Amino acid sequence: MYKYILNNIIPADDLHWDDFENKYVSLSEDETNEIISACLKNGITELEKVTKVVNWAGSIRIGQILWKNYIMGSVDICGFDDAGEPMFSIKKGNE
């Protein structure tokens, strides 16, 4: 779902280009480094756990972008998933 949202619903202008991964991502390199530093500073040093925090922060960022675009009227909530979370689609006429 994450890949679909990044490729189809969120405009590239709201994302960051990652040269290493050769794709658009939700967090900039600086933001990712800041999250990693905060993890280390707060005692989260295992790579697996740091990765989980970075992925969580990326998901939060996607949520913020979707909310902003929903408020601005460029995306719609088209339903809800099994967990009760909204599912988004491009607003008709904004394709």
Residue 24 lies in a domain: yes
Residue 36 lies in a domain: yes
Question: Residue 6: its pLDDT value, please?
Answer: 66
Q: How many domains does the chain have?
A: 1
Residue 75 lies in a domain: yes
Q: Average model confidence (pLDDT) for the chain?
A: 90
Q: Is the pLDDT of residue 49 over 90?
A: yes
Residue-wise pLDDT tens digits, 19-46: 988 989 999 999 999 999 999 999 999 9
Which two structure tokens, joined as six digits, stand for 22? 């050769």
Q: How far is CA 53 from CA 15, 29, 40, 42, 74, in A?
A: 19, 15, 11, 12, 29
Residue 42 lies in a domain: yes
Residue 95 lies in a domain: no
**Start-to-end C-alpha separation, the chain:** 19
Give me the DSSP letters along 28-55: -HHHHHHHHHHHHHTT---HHHHHHHHH
Q: Which domain holds residue 59?
A: 2-90
Percent of the chain with pLDDT over 90: 74
Residue 43 lies in a domain: yes
Cβ 65 vs Cβ 25: under 8 Å:
no
Q: What is the pTM of this model?
A: 0.82
